[in-house]
Structures are given as C-alpha cells and as structure tokens.
Chain A
Amino acid sequence: MLRRSLLGFAATLPLATRAWAQQAPAEIKIGHLHASSGPFASISMPVYTGLKIWVDETNASGGAYVKAFDKKIPLKLISYDDQSSTATAATLYNQLITQDKVDILVADSGSVLTSVAVPIAKEHKQFLFDPTGTGAPFFVDNPWIALIADPVSTIWPKYIADYLNDEGVKAGIKTVAILYSTNDFTGTQANAVRGFIKAAGKLDIVYDQGVPTNTSNYTVLINNIASKSPDAVIHLGYVGNDIAFLRNLQDSGQKFRFLFSIYPGIETEELLKNVGPEGLKNVFTYVTSAAYEYKPEVGWTLEQFRAAWDKANSGLNFGFNSIAGYTTGLVLQETLKVTKSLDQTALRDAVFSLSGKLNTLDGPFVLDEHGGQIGEITPLGQFEVEGKEVKLNVVYPPALANGKAVIGK
C-alpha cells in the first residue's frame, strides 16, 4: 500500500513540476513613468535612466532571480512619458495597472508626479514602489506603498534643525527664515523643519513663506527676507527653484550667515554648472549617496555605478536621482529574491522583510510601519570651494563629520 502510494506520488511529481514551471511568467513586467519634458524632467530622467541601467544589467545576466519560481526571469520595463503632467500621469498609471497589467509598479520621480500614483495604486491594491516621492500624505492610512531611495520628508530635515539648535545656537544663530515651494515634497519638509525648530524653542522664525513651485525669480523675496535680518535662511525648492534662488542671491549681493538649500547636494553637477562655485560657497545642503560613499552589500559601489552611468552615455548629469533609480532596481531585485509570489500582498511583505537587512550604495534600507524610508537619512554638509570645483564636507552629525562647518559673520 505504502509502496503504491509512493509510486503514485513519484508518477505525479513531473506533472506537478511542469505545472509549477508553467506558472512562471515569461517575463516580469515593470511599469514605470518618466518625464522627458516639463519642469520635472531634470529629476525624472536620471531616475528612469538609473532604473533602466539596472534592468539592462539584470537581463544581461539572464534576468532577475525569483524565489517563487526558483529561476531567473527576464525583466520588461514598460515606461511611458508623462511629460511632467499630473493629468497625463494619472491616465498612464491607470493604463499600466489595468491594460498592461504590470507585475511591479514604480512611480515617477518626485512627490508631484508620485502624488497621483498613490490613490490609483491604493484603489487597485497595487503595491507602489516609490523611488523619491517623500510627501507625508502618501504614507497615511496606505498599506500599498514603500519609499525606496530617499528619506520621508517628515524626518529628512531633522539634521538641519538639530544642527541649528545645537551648533548654530553656540555660534550665535538666533533667527531663521524659511522659504519653500508649495508642493508635497518641500511643503512637507518645511512643516517638518518648522516643527523641529519650534519644538526645541531655541530659535525664532522671523520669515516663513511658501511660493509656487514654478517661481523663477527670487530677487524681491530675497530682499524681503533680508529686511527681517535672519541669521539663518532655509530654502526648500526643486532644482529650478534652487538655481534661480542661488543665482538671484549672488546677483543681489545679500549674504546670510547660514544658508541651506536642498538640490546643491542632490544634483551637484547641475547646480555647479548653473550657479558656479562661488554661488555654492559655504552653502549647507544634504549629503546624499552621490557624495558620501556607503559600503553596499548588494549591487555596485558608487564608483562602479558611476562608470556604468558614463558608459550608458545618456547625456544627463550624474546626481543623486541617478542613484535613486538604480537603488530602486536593487530593491526590486532583492524583493523578487524573497517574495513568495508576484501577488501584490506578497510583494509588499517581501519589501518590508528587507527593512533593516539591506545595504546599497544609497545607505541602509529601513522602512517604518507606514512604508516611509527612515534609513537613508542624509547628513548635513557644506560646500567648500576649491578653484573651479567644490568639495562637499559632512559637518553634522558629529559621528559622520569629515569637515568643520563655517558660519558667516
């Protein structure tokens, strides 16, 4: 009896194995949007290109290993151009989910173009791999999202406030001005930094204004800030905002003792080309993985990725968003290695299981319970001018510092 059962089991095993193999898809479809034109092209195209480099590299080695099928499966990247339009993006996200039926959905870069993906993915119970959309509302009451490649904006600016409350106060900083672009990304950062400063109670906020994200001239705003005589100025905007702000600041001749701006540290090459070394001199900024070398346990090092980026010859400046695209690919790779199936709930469980166990060239990957990234927090840095080049020193927190901050008089 036992022998007959064993024989029967043995006879059905090849059939079962064949059925298992048949379930494995011929390819894994990764749905993504990018903006080849419009105001967000400069942050979107590097993410897309970084992700594409990972896809090409993975396919060159036979595909991504998927634990659920115990085999390598080729990847197919389906990426549509939303032209920086949220309306177009909404249509295309729907198309990726309902028409293309992608296995994995990756949002476009930045909070503005991610904001329309969040409700659509949630409605369809499609897990959203969010490369760089850091707006706080995305992670409220939403189990269908994880922020992959940069910290959630509610905690990202913590080191700015900590530095000002700590070292800044010792150096005589008493008053702060905050100028921000009114969008999910920088609006959330402004709320966070304002909250940190107010909670510490050591500094007075003497100017606190939002401006539309398409603002391209800051001369009057800078003069208005100067009229309040703040010791520290925190400007929170996108690439174009930072370029216009820093150029107008140079042209106006105004000086502030402490000046923080986001994108000099994120897209340094682009800012350097547009603002020049003098415009970045002593500017405080985030030190991203483009300027701070983490030791990756998975994927390329910064140097190796930079070489691959140059080889791809995309014509785009290398910066943090390039790394964000590649990091997103690495997280997908590790997710597929552990997921039990391509079901969206299984993908979600797989991503969260990586939290605290994954180190890439972008730093430690750690998610909070809402899917917000809390591991890849960027230290605070300051630019030092060396001839026509600039050097970005980490100045805070002390444990990571490799340079000493210079606060103006």
Chain B
Amino acid sequence: MLTGAIISGLMFGLYFTLVGLGLNLVFGVMRIVNLAHGDFLMLGSFAAYWLFTLFGLHPLLAALAVLVVFVAIGLPIYYGVVPRLLIARDSEMLSIILFFGLSQMIEAIASIAFGTNERSIPGRVLGSGPVSFLGQRLPSAWVFGAAVSAVAVAGVYLYLYRTRLGTLTRAVMVSREEALATGIDVHRISAIAFGIGIALAGIAGVFAPFMLGSVTPAMGADINVAAFAVIVVGTLGNPLGTVIGGIIYGVGLMLMQTYLSSWANLLPNLLLIGVLLIRPEGLFGRAVRRA
C-alpha cells in the first residue's frame, strides 16, 4: 500500500502542480492574491463540460480553447482591477478582499447559469481502463492530467527563461519599481502574466471532472485551499517551485488517505501551518525566486 500511495501521489501531485501554477505566477509577478483562482478553474471545468456535451470536443482540444479564451479574458480583468490595487498602500491585503468578492460573484453567477447539479465527462474520453505504471494500476485520466501538467510547467519555464517577454516578466518579479525605472511596460507584462495565470487555472479545470470525480459551481473554495498549500510549500512567488509543492501535496494526501484517512482533509492546513512555522519562505526560499 505504501508504494501504491507514493506512486499515486506523484501522479496526483503533478496535477495539483497545474492547479497551483497559475496562482503562483500571478503572485510572483504582481504580489496579489487571486482568491478567485479556484473559481476560474471551475469555469474551465464547465467550459470543458459544455464543449464536450454540445460539440463532443475532446478535453485536449478544450484545453487549447480555454487557454486562448482565458488569456483573452484575463487581460481586461487585469486592466480593470489590478493597476488600482497596486497603487494602494497594502495591495496584498486589498487583493484578498477584492478577489474574494470576485470569487463569490463568479460562484453565484455560475450557480444561476449552470444550476447546482454535479457534472462530469465520461472517463472513457481519456482512454478506457487503467494504465500500469511501476506495477500500479492508475486511471488513464491521471496520466493525461500529469502529462498536461508537465507540458504546462515546461511551457511556463520556456516562457520565463527562453523568451524576451519571460525575461521582462522575471525582471518585474524581482523588483517592480526597478523594472519600471528601466522602461519596462510593467502593466503589459503583468497583464500577460495574469492572463496566463487564469488560463493555467482554466486548463487545470478542464481535467478536474476526471481528477475530482465531478464539478459544481461551489468547488472553487476547496481548490483554493489546496492550491495555497501547494504554492506555500513550493515557495510563494516561485512558479517552478510549485512542482515540488504539488508533489509533496499529492504524496502527502495519498499517504494520509492510506494511513489516516479520516484526517486527510487536514493535510493542506497542516502543510500550510508547518511550512509557515518552520520555513516561511517555502522550500526554495528567496534565492530561487530571484533566479
């Protein structure tokens, strides 16, 4: 059971890397906390559900559509909200309040629009039967989820370290003021990062019906807690540290389900408290974030 829990946790954790990746990118670039992150993920889930139900669109194609649409949605949200937040004295705290309100609005509107029934996409769409991996039988959806997450992490890495926009983004992550002083269009860079952040949430949402059983408009709050645990463990503001955070979360969750199942939902909170008490800067600390 131990081996099974660890291997399952690795695969499941890779998916949670994708869940937390966008949240961490947004925090890293803008130092704002997007409490509506889980709700954008929920919207991605419903987008995939409707695209499949109405047009039979495969989730991988739905993920591409979500990527484009959510980046496009993210840009006006950024320009409508974030610049005003950033000139405030305590933008981090204000962002928590503002995005909490946005989260509530999205959930309420989604409940009215989609209803409260549970929704899902048939598992066979991502392959029938389990996949054998290191002697363990895993759902094929997990393999898809983990693979898409790996592609997303690689994409974010390439964007940050192999493109000019990425270099500028990292400059903003190190110091917004210095970036501004050197003539970088900070708002343009931040808007793109914000769009990518919620697009990553949307892509994670596309696979949520497979990874989480079913989706409802109310799923955002639980997702936020898990996503925060992942990015705090993997270091706030360090998108690539999210990989380690996700894997620790996934393996930890599966070990808890195996040996202390009744207490499994305490894991995100335990991880948050533990990391904040022992190593508040996260596992990678400040040095990596400045790389």
Binary per-residue interface labels of chain B (107-125) against chain A in the complex, 1 for a CB within 8 Å, 0 otherwise: 1100100011111101100
Q: Say whether A220 contacts B257, CB under 8 Å.
A: yes
Would A243 and B213 be within 8 Å (CB), given that A224-B258, A253-B129, A274-B120 are in contact? yes
Q: Is the CB of B140 within 8 A of A251?
A: yes
Residues of B within 8 Å of A211, CB to CB, are 257, 261-262, 264
CB contacts between A and B, total, < 8 Å = 125
Task: For residue A31, give the distance in angstroms from its CB to the closest CB of chain B.
Answer: 22
CB pair B130–A240 under 8 Å, yes or no, is no
Q: Among the listed stretches A35-43, A281-289, A303-311, which one makes contact with chain B, having 4 or more residues with CB under 8 Å of it?
A: A35-43
Per-residue contact bits, chain B 255-273, to A (CB 8 Å; 1 contact, 0 not): 0011001111100000000
Q: Do A215 and B265 form a contact, CB below 8 Å, given A244-B213, A251-B123?
A: yes
Q: How many residues of A contact B (CB 8 A)?
A: 44
Docked complex: A190-230 residues within 8 A CB-CB of B = 209-212, 214-221, 223-224, 227
CA distance A379 to B129 in the complex (A): 33
- In chain B, positions 176-227 with a C-beta closer than 8 Å to chain A are 211-214, 216-218, 222
Instruction: Of the listed stretches B73-81, B131-139, B147-155, B165-173, name the one at the interface; the rest are far from the partner chain.
Output: B131-139
- How distant is B245 from chain A, measured CB to nearest CB, in Å? 18
- A41 in complex: contacting residue of B111, B139, B141, CB < 8 Å: B111
B130 cross-chain contacts in A, Cβ below 8 A = 251-253
Q: How far does the Cβ of B41 sit from chain A's closest Cβ, in whole Å? A: 13
A270 interface hit (Cβ, 8 Å): yes
Q: Is residue B277 contacting chain A, with contact meaning CB distance below 8 A?
A: no
Chain A residue numbers with a CB within 8 Å of B285 are none
**B261 pairs with A247, CB closer than 8 A:** no
Number of contact residues on B: which range applies? 35 or more
| Minimal Cβ-Cβ distance residue in A for B266 | A212
Contact A212 B218 (CB under 8 A): no
Contacts of B1 in A (CB 8 A): 223-224, 227
Q: Which residues of B contact A45 (CB under 8 A)?
A: 116
Q: Which residue of A lies closest to B116 (CB)?
A: A41
Tell me if A239 is interfacial: C-beta within 8 Å of chain B: yes
Asked if A182 is at the interface (CB within 8 A of a chain B CB), the reply is yes
Q: Are B138 and A219 in contact (CB under 8 A)?
A: yes
The answer to whether A217 touches B262, judged by C-beta atoms less than 8 angstroms apart, is no
Contact B118 A248 (CB under 8 A): no
A41-B216, A211-B257, A247-B120 given as contacts; is B8 within 8 A of A219 (CB)?
Answer: yes
B46 CB-CB contact with A under 8 Å? no
Distance, CA A141 to CA B177, complexed state (A): 66
Say how far A266's CB is from chain B's closest CB, in angstroms.
13
Tell me whether B262 and A251 are in contact (CB under 8 A).
Answer: no
Known: A243-B214, A251-B139, A253-B137. A220 touches B118 (CB 8 A): no
- Whether a CB of chain A sits under 8 angstroms from the CB of B27 is no
Judge whether A84 is part of the interface by a CB distance below 8 angstroms: yes
Cβ of B18 under 8 Å from chain A? no
Query: Are A36 and B116 closer than 8 Å at their CB atoms?
Result: yes
Bound complex: CA of A51 vs CA of B129, how far in Å?
42
A142 to B127, CA, bound (A): 53
A175 lies within 8 A of chain B by Cβ: no
- In the assembled complex, the Cα of A251 lies from the Cα of B142 at a distance in Å of 10
Q: Inside 8 A of B280's CB, which chain A residues have their CB? A: none
Q: Is the CB of B213 within 8 A of A223?
A: no
CB-CB under 8 A from B108, the residues of chain A are 37
Near A by CB (< 8 A), chain B positions 1-52 give 1, 4-5, 8-9, 12
Q: Which chain B positions have C-beta within 8 A of A223? A: 1, 4, 8, 136-137
Q: Which of A41, A212, A219, A244 meets B264, CB within 8 Å?
A: A212
Residues of chain B within 8 A of A221, CB atoms compared: 257-258, 261
A42: which of B137, B213, B216 is its contact (CB, 8 Å)? B216
A-B contacts, 17 of them at CB < 8 A, read A41-B111, A42-B116, A209-B262, A214-B222, A214-B265, A219-B138, A219-B139, A221-B258, A221-B261, A223-B136, A224-B1, A243-B120, A243-B214, A244-B213, A252-B130, A274-B118, A274-B119
What are the 3 A-B residue pairs with the smallest beta carbon separation, nearest first? Answer: A244-B213, A251-B139, A41-B116
14 other A-B residue contacts (CB within 8 Å) besides A211-B262, A316-B117: A37-B218, A41-B216, A41-B218, A211-B264, A212-B265, A217-B211, A219-B138, A221-B261, A244-B214, A247-B120, A251-B140, A254-B137, A273-B120, A274-B214
